[in-house]
Amino acid sequence: MVRRLGTFTLRREGASWGGMEIAVSARILGDAGLFTDVIRHEYAHMLVYLRDGSVRHGHDRVWKAACLEVGCEPMATRKLLPR
Ligand SMILES: [Zn+2]
């Protein structure tokens, strides 16, 4: 994982969607605030999927509402400051 700070992934199991995974970049492990925000960002994607079963929301208004519920800024991307 180079460019993305986090991902939410659904895995295929046969003809249907199976397991879910949230992954974060090792680059954010030293920044507790950013780590928490990225986890919440990805969890908002998971929450939207769990509620309606769609993987097509992306960063739309449904996802933005979920972000506010889980306590993160509804921003699609974050700039990572150079160390
Ligand atoms: Zn996202």
State the distance from the centre of ligand 1 to the C-alpha of 75, rounded, in angstroms: 8
State the distance from the centre of ligand 1 to the C-alpha of 13, rounded, in angstroms: 23
Rounded average pLDDT over 68-76? 93
Q: What local confidence, expressed as pLDDT, does residue 21 receive?
A: 93
State the distance from the centre of ligand 1 to the C-alpha of 15, rounded, in angstroms: 25
What confidence tens digit (pLDDT) does each residue in 14-71 have? 877 778 999 999 999 999 999 999 999 999 999 999 999 887 899 999 999 999 999 9
Ranges of each domain in the chain: 6-70
DSSP symbol at 26 = G
Q: What local confidence, expressed as pLDDT, does residue 1 receive?
A: 46
Supply φ then ψ for residue 52, to 5 degrees: -125, 0
State the distance from the centre of ligand 1 to the C-alpha of 43, rounded, in angstroms: 9
Residues 36-39: contacts with CB under 8 Å, at least 24 apart: 36/72, 37/72, 37/73, 37/78, 38/5, 38/6, 38/78, 39/6
State the distance from the centre of ligand 1 to the C-alpha of 14, rounded, in angstroms: 25
Alpha-carbon gap, residue 42 to 5, rounded angstroms = 10
